[in-house]
Amino acid sequence: MIPELDSLREVRILVVGDLMVDEYVYGDIERISPEAPVPVVQGKHHEMRVGGAGSVVTNLAALGIESSVIGLVGDDEGGEFIRQAMDEAGCSVGGVVVSQSRPTSRKTRILAGVQHSGRGQQQVLRLDMEERRPTDGLEQAALIGAIGDALEEAPDAVLISDYEKGLLGEEILKLLIESARSRSIPVLVDPCRSGNWSGYRGATLICPNRYEASSASGIDLATAVERQLEAGKLLLDDLDLDHCILTLDRDGITRVSRGGDNRRHPTVVHGVTDVAGAGDMVLSLLGLALASGWNIDDACQLANLGAGIEVQKVGVQPVERWELEAARKALIGETPDALRSREQMREIAERSRSAAQVVVFTNGCFDLLHAGHLQLLEAARAFGDLLVVGINSDESVQRLKGPERPIMPVEDRARLLGGLACVDHVVMFEEDTPEQLIRELLPDVLVKGSDYQASDVVGREVVEAAGGRIERITLVQGASTTGLIERIRAGTRTCPPTPEG
């Protein structure tokens, strides 16, 4: 069983590796180019994120963990963006060396969907702008100095993210690993794709994916997954590691450890949108868990959980603590907390749209849940892939229904709604109407009861202007919270008595 996330301590982690800019251009494929048999992507928007070792930093920052980073950037716009973004994330960037002789690595991904196809956006092209060569004398001297300074700060773990851009040569790796281990600091490595891993010798663990492990071990794990223990043992012995953590996508994670105590952890993925960033997430969570004193299997399970969430997102995005906690509770059979903040709900709605999922929204007070509510919610869920329920705050209910309401506080109302199989998320709003919340979420389908005329539905114009639609559900006759409360107070039966005999 994965421990509660509160047991993750406020540790400090040193991240060392290749830094790069991840640029995403989003658009629609509307036609084929008249110039060549290639699709024309009509660009809609673009964004920049910190990639490579920088994504490990942002993963940790999203979980409230401080870090410092050692890496190399160019004296250019991309390098300035990386340093500023990581500084704003609370990461110490004093170890970032600015090179005068090479540009900052940049990966530009074009993601597009075919108009009216109902499919999510897919990556159609990646453009890499970089210079892959070993560090020169000046760069290496600066990096060696940064490593010495960083280890003097006694971090709780060192995470190495090797994208094979030239930063992590054997001399740098040897110095880093030996210096850290001599201070009893664990060193975790997400290795490069090539099979030349001699520089990782003596690390605490490496966490290669299926194809990296196949290349390094000579055992094809794509077709012979049953040989995973053999491959892990070979790497373990060859590199003098404590653990080899094989990340095998659909086959989960396999831990191979010194002494023969090995274990397989099944995958917990519920759907794959984009595999980018999964390796960074595994490294981040393994490092955080081990630095917090978790045992290796609990750390592997947490990493497995985080990677399963990561691959459901478009592009490389951090996983929030609440997402991990919800997944952890679901894994151990507990009811996850369904109540989301508005910020969390905006992120979920945006992610769902990127994956071409239909987001359905309905709202109400839901004070004393009854059969009419259930019918509305089940019918609403059938209109799409994700049902979001907006729920009035206690103060909002009181303004609308009077000083004696609500009967149940918002936490209880949200928990009951979240326990229904048809409800995916619950979000509270303080206003008297959900109009502003609807503007923020922009659902594809807005659902209300048939007692509302379509023209009177709050948020209708917003949803329809964004290309969505309104659906009205026939309600259970006579089912209302107000009527239920009145019958309870009057001592009136709410159903016919059971016949005697």
- Contacting residues for 455 by C-beta, under 8 A, at least 6 apart: none
Asked if 213 and 235 count as a contact pair (C-beta separation under 8 A), the reply is yes
Given 280, 367, 424, 444, which residue is catalytic?
A: 280
Active site residue 280: yes
Asked if 231 and 217 count as a contact pair (C-beta separation under 8 A), the reply is yes
Tell which phi-psi region holds residue 182, choosing left (phi > 0), alpha (psi between -120 and 50) or beta: alpha
How far apart are the C-alpha atoms of 452 and 68, rounded to whole Å?
56
Number of CB atoms found within 10 A of residue 318's CB: 24
Helix axes 278-291, 53-62, angle to 10 degrees: 60
Let me know how many helices (H) and strands (E) the chain has, helices first.
16, 19
How far apart are the C-alpha atoms of 393 and 112, rounded to whole Å?
39
Please state the pTM of the whole predicted model.
0.75
- CATH class of this structure's domain 5-331: alpha beta
Structure tokens at 51: 């990639």
The separation between the first and the last C-alpha atoms of the chain, rounded to the nearest angstrom, is 50
Question: What residue spans define the domains of the chain?
Answer: 5-331, 339-490
| Three-class DSSP category at 344 | helix
- pLDDT tens per residue across all 501 residues of the chain: 788 888 888 899 999 999 999 998 988 888 999 999 999 998 888 889 999 999 999 999 988 898 999 999 999 999 999 999 999 988 999 999 999 999 999 999 998 876 555 556 678 899 999 999 999 999 999 999 999 999 999 999 999 999 999 899 999 999 999 999 999 999 999 999 886 899 999 999 999 999 999 988 888 888 776 788 999 999 999 999 999 999 888 888 899 999 888 888 887 766 666 677 788 999 999 999 999 999 999 999 999 888 888 777 766 777 888 888 877 877 776 666 778 889 889 988 887 776 667 899 999 989 877 778 888 899 999 998 889 999 999 999 999 888 888 888 988 999 889 888 889 899 999 999 999 999 999 999 999 887 777 777 899 999 999 889 999 888 766 556 566 666 666 666 655 444 443
Which residue carries 């673009």 as its tokens?
46
Q: Which long-range contacts (CB under 8 A, 24 or more apart) does 40-49 make?
A: 41/110, 41/112, 41/124, 47/23, 48/21, 48/22, 48/23, 48/24, 48/81, 49/21, 49/22, 49/23, 49/24, 49/85, 49/315, 49/316, 49/317
Instruction: Residues 339-490: name the CATH superfamily.
Output: HUPs (3.40.50.620)
